[in-house]
Chain A
Amino acid sequence: MTAPPPTPTDEPQVRTPLEQVRQQAVELLGELGRTPRTLRVRVGDTAVEIEWPEPAAAVAPTAVLAGTASAALGLESPAPAALSQAENPTPDGGRTAGTPAADDARYVTAPTVGTFYTAPAPGSPPFVQVGDVVSAGQQIGIIEAMKLMIPIEADQAGRVTAVLRVDGEAVEYGERLLALADGEA
């Protein structure tokens, strides 16, 4: 099998429990029959949290999406292709663990198709900004897929050099969300 180069969030450990939690959340929502302000389902370390700031806001992402031209969203340069470009040009073959360079950026990529949010709620400050130092496991954004909010975490520590997608943008699986450079605080 021609496996793609390992991408940071390619196999999140929470995947299977997350699917179960997500299922529970969907069922719970269905049984409620109305939209709550907050829904939080947690099993062990895995949790799904959904907040509806106000009733109208729940439909807003759909409206935003309907108007986006997907051609502009990276179909010309799919993320995996770009990823391999980033990983291949190490002519000396070294895995460059301790040799930071300008094009040595690492990326946090989208674990699923959906809408990317940089902040926990509209108007809130973003999870991270350029220049921030993040630790492994730190939440850097949210992807909404089918009305479920999936927390996106950095898989490794680093300094944020770019936030590559804007708040509310539709993303595909594997698309780069955040660029990280080596950089202890």
Chain B
Amino acid sequence: MRKVLVANRGEIAVRVLRACRELGVRTVAVYSTEDRESAAVALADEAVHIGPAPARRSYLHIPALIEAARKTGADAVHPGYGFLSEDPDFAEVCRDNDLVFIGPPPEVIAALGDKTAARALMAGAGMPLLPGSLEPLRRADQAHGVAEAIGYPVIIKAAAGGGGRGMTVVRDGEDFVRAYTETSANARALFGDPRVFVERYLPSARHVEIQILCDSHGGVVHLGERDCSVQRRHQKLVEESPAPGLPADLVERMAQAAVAGAKAAGYVGAGTFEFLVGPDGAFSFMEVNCRIQVEHPVTELRTGIDLVRQQLLIAAGGRLDFAQDDISARGAVIECRINVEDPDRAFLPAPGRLERFVPAGGPFVRVDTHGYPGYRMATSYDSLLAKLLTWAPTRAEALARMDRALAEFTVSGPGVRTTIPFLRRVLADEHFATGTHDTTIVDRLTGRPDQR
């Protein structure tokens, strides 16, 4: 692997470019018209203009990406997260064009991307699941029957769903048929696939995920957990490790389940098994993310292992050069996502030119961002501007350090608002501070019920 094309934008493109550079691998950035002033373009060895601002014609446009790789002689493609990162067709087209796709094989992405197929596969691997259907439910009455048998509330999910979209919570049987019809129609519109399934909904749960790394020679390790319970409409705002208050033996059982699941799926690369942990302390499998995740630095700071570097080494055919026993997690890590959104106006995007951009610094602080002073935040893509992480020996110290860092972090410009003030309110929340919060915390703080 000599030259990697990064088929993404924003902070993750910068993150991948840095890992390549540290490995001595040459880099190609691709950019849309709106991103021509981006940090990734400035940082890469080469850059190719692949299309206009709409992602459909640039970052999601497979022929443009393949041609860009061909034009520059790249021999591998890193898809980042979002966009085409979990598109089995893209992985396959890369393979057909002699490009190494830095991610799992297309067959694995396809099997795990279908949530019902993934549930069936993981049930076979002994993974605990929430009560629900293992098959897609093609008729409303059939689905209704399943919901009645499970008991309300239930959640209807698109088989092809992901990224927190295509889900409906049903609290009352009278609403079920209408919700079923709507969710299926939405799933068809969003994912081109109307199939849905039903499982029990846990109103008060913790979202905990396990990071895994698998090489192509059968080596599988886990790198511990991340707690991502601070979410708004299924979008994560704060992540941390360790998961506060979770018994070590519970985390260990989840990790073992993830390793067994990865082996059963024939997984290769970096991946994440997402679980829900109920109030009773039981955990249930939710889904597998076949990509590097936004919150991967949490695990990097806690284990000292560079996950993107490992992705590159694995894709080049290398073996993991450490065993499970070599991995030790130290201290506590918090990550806050700084989005250009206005928390006072329902988190509406509030982008603009960043006249002032002064990231936090100081001891044990990490900032992953594509922002710089004078940068005009792109409006065609997501609102993530920066990920701010702090490490400390204990959670309390990491939180204090995070509050200090958030207070330092200065972003301003005409029309620009960020989630920084809201994140400080989360940190100050009593339940969060004591680690007794759950996925309902944001609704509580905004006084707004979650309209899924």
- Judge: A and B partners, yes or no: yes
Contacts of B66 in A (CB 8 A): 145-146
Q: Mark B10-23, 1 if CB is under 8 A from A, else 0.
A: 00000000000000
Determine if B72 and A145 form an interchain contact, defined as CB atoms under 8 angstroms apart.
no
Interface hits, B1-59 → A, CB 8 Å: 33-34, 36, 46-53, 57-58
Let me know if B73 is at the binding interface, CB within 8 A: yes
CA A73 to CA B70, docked complex, whole Å? 14
Determine if B48 and A2 form an interchain contact, defined as CB atoms under 8 angstroms apart.
no
Determine if B380 and A113 form an interchain contact, defined as CB atoms under 8 angstroms apart.
no
Determine if A78 and B49 form an interchain contact, defined as CB atoms under 8 angstroms apart.
yes
Contacts of B379 in A (CB 8 A): 1-2
Let me know if A75 is at the binding interface, CB within 8 A: yes
CA A148 to CA B61, docked complex, whole Å? 14
Contacts of B33 in A (CB 8 A): 4, 80, 173-174
Interface hits, B57-77 → A, CB 8 Å: 57-58, 61-64, 66-68, 70-73
With A1-B34, A81-B36: A173-B70 Cβ-Cβ less than 8 Å = no
Determine if B34 and A113 form an interchain contact, defined as CB atoms under 8 angstroms apart.
no
Determine if B50 and A113 form an interchain contact, defined as CB atoms under 8 angstroms apart.
yes
The residue in A75, A81, A148, A173 that gathers the most chain B C-beta atoms within 10 A of its C-beta is: A173
Let me know if B263 is at the binding interface, CB within 8 A: no
Let me know if B376 is at the binding interface, CB within 8 A: yes
Q: Mark A74-108, 1 if CB is under 8 A from B, else 0.
A: 01001111000000000000000000000000000
Nearest-Cβ distance from residue A18 to partner chain B, whole angstroms: 11
Q: Mark A122-134, 1 if CB is under 8 A from B, else 0.
A: 0000000000000
Determine if A174 and B49 form an interchain contact, defined as CB atoms under 8 angstroms apart.
yes
Let me know if A56 is at the binding interface, CB within 8 A: no
CA A126 to CA B63, docked complex, whole Å? 25
Contacts of B34 in A (CB 8 A): 1-2
Let me know if A170 is at the binding interface, CB within 8 A: yes
CA A173 to CA B30, docked complex, whole Å? 11
Contacts of A66 in B (CB 8 A): 70, 73
Chain A interface extent, by class: 20 to 34
Nearest-Cβ distance from residue A46 to partner chain B, whole angstroms: 16
Let me know if A172 is at the binding interface, CB within 8 A: yes
Contacts of A73 in B (CB 8 A): 71
Complex partner residue of A62 from B36, B63, B70, CB under 8 angstroms: B70
Contacts of B68 in A (CB 8 A): 113, 172
Interface hits, A101-155 → B, CB 8 Å: 112-115, 145-146, 148
Majority-rule SS of B interface residues:
mixed
Determine if B52 and A4 form an interchain contact, defined as CB atoms under 8 angstroms apart.
yes
Contacts of A4 in B (CB 8 A): 33, 52
Contacts of A70 in B (CB 8 A): 46, 48, 71-72
With A65-B71, A80-B36: A148-B49 Cβ-Cβ less than 8 Å = no
Determine if A146 and B73 form an interchain contact, defined as CB atoms under 8 angstroms apart.
no
Nearest-Cβ distance from residue B34 to partner chain A, whole angstroms: 7
Question: Which chain A residue lies CB-closest to B28?
Answer: A70
CA A45 to CA B116, docked complex, whole Å? 41
Question: Which chain B residue lies CB-closest to A67?
Answer: B73
CA A11 to CA B57, docked complex, whole Å? 10
CA A65 to CA B47, docked complex, whole Å? 16
Contacts of A78 in B (CB 8 A): 36, 49
Determine if A2 and B376 form an interchain contact, defined as CB atoms under 8 angstroms apart.
yes
Determine if B67 and A113 form an interchain contact, defined as CB atoms under 8 angstroms apart.
yes
Question: Which chain A residue lies CB-closest to B51?
Answer: A173
Question: Which chain A residue lies CB-closest to B58?
Answer: A173
With A112-B63, A145-B64: A173-B380 Cβ-Cβ less than 8 Å = no
CA A172 to CA B32, docked complex, whole Å? 11
Contacts of B72 in A (CB 8 A): 70
Let me know if A10 is at the binding interface, CB within 8 A: yes
Q: Mark A1-20, 1 if CB is under 8 A from B, else 0.
A: 11110000011000100000
Question: Which chain B residue lies CB-closest to A71?
Answer: B46
Nearest-Cβ distance from residue B426 to partner chain A, whole angstroms: 31
Question: Which chain A residue lies CB-closest to B67?
Answer: A113
Nearest-Cβ distance from residue A176 to partner chain B, whole angstroms: 12
CA A2 to CA B35, docked complex, whole Å? 10
Determine if B64 and A112 form an interchain contact, defined as CB atoms under 8 angstroms apart.
yes
Determine if B67 and A146 form an interchain contact, defined as CB atoms under 8 angstroms apart.
yes
CA A15 to CA B54, docked complex, whole Å? 13
Contacts of A71 in B (CB 8 A): 46
Determine if A173 and B64 form an interchain contact, defined as CB atoms under 8 angstroms apart.
yes
CA A70 to CA B68, docked complex, whole Å? 10
Nearest-Cβ distance from residue A5 to partner chain B, whole angstroms: 10
Let me know if A68 is at the binding interface, CB within 8 A: yes
Contacts of A65 in B (CB 8 A): 70-71
Determine if B67 and A112 form an interchain contact, defined as CB atoms under 8 angstroms apart.
yes
B-contacting residues of A (Cβ < 8 Å)? Answer: 1-4, 10-11, 15, 62, 65-66, 68, 70-71, 73, 75, 78-81, 112-115, 145-146, 148, 170, 172-175
- Having A3-B53, A68-B71, A173-B58, one finds 15 other A-B pairs with CB under 8 Å, namely A2-B379, A65-B71, A66-B70, A75-B46, A78-B49, A80-B36, A80-B49, A112-B67, A113-B50, A113-B63, A114-B63, A146-B62, A172-B48, A173-B64, A174-B33
Q: Return 18 A-B CB contacts under 8 Å, by A number.
A: A1-B380, A2-B376, A3-B53, A65-B70, A70-B46, A75-B46, A78-B36, A78-B49, A80-B33, A112-B67, A113-B48, A113-B67, A145-B63, A172-B71, A173-B51, A173-B58, A173-B64, A174-B33
